[in-house]
């Protein structure tokens, strides 16, 4: 039996601001924006090509505490350039040598070898990694 990750809750201080960031800057698509009443709103977004979505949850206590949610791309250079072009404050490309971040690409461009990160307006952090690089 498969167990597939469906949704990850991302705590934010301002749902509208976060929604705008994830659509306009991160390139996610809006799946649902439903308000039942003043205390219950569901905003669900999906990264390009992903089977897993995120749901934005207003929670000032936990906003900015999501760290290192990892997304895979097959062309980290294109993903980095696209995110930067959309106005995302992206970290530099790096790989790890002896547990320490080292600038640039993994020397062999190995799967899961090259990374960059970014944060949303609340400080929730994402780690983008290259897997299945297209030649």
Using CA atoms, how far apart are residues 39 and 134, in angstroms rounded to an integer? Answer: 45
- Spelled out in words, what is the top-level CATH class assigned to the domain 7-130? alpha beta
Q: Closest Cα partner for 56 from 19, 5, 6?
A: 19
Give residue 78's pLDDT: 96
Q: Percentage of the chain with pLDDT > 70?
A: 99
Using CA atoms, how far apart are residues 74 and 15, in angstroms rounded to an integer? Answer: 30
Question: pTM above the 0.75 mark?
Answer: yes
Using CA atoms, how far apart are residues 88 and 22, in angstroms rounded to an integer? Answer: 10
pLDDT digits (tens, 9 = 90+) for 90-119: 999 999 999 999 999 999 999 999 999 999
Using CA atoms, how far apart are residues 92 and 16, in angstroms rounded to an integer? Answer: 28
Using CA atoms, how far apart are residues 88 and 13, in angstroms rounded to an integer? Answer: 19
| For the chain, domain boundaries | 7-130
């Amino acid at each position: 039996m498969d167990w597939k990750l469906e949704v990850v809750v991302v705590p934010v201080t301002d749902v509208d601001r976060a929604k705008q960031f994830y659509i306009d800057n991160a390139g996610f698509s809006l799946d649902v924006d439903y308000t039942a009443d003043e205390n219950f709103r569901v905003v669900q977004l999906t990264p390009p090509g992903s089977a897993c979505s995120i749901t934005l949850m207003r929670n000032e206590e936990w906003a900015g505490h999501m760290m290192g949610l990892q997304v895979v791309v097959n062309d980290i250079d294109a993903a980095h350039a696209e995110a930067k072009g959309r106005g995302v404050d992206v970290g530099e490309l790096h790989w790890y040598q002896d547990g320490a971040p080292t600038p640039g690409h993994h020397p062999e461009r190995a799967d899961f070898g090259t990374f960059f990160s970014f944060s949303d307006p609340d400080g929730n952090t994402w780690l983008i990694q290259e897997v299945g690089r297209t030649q």
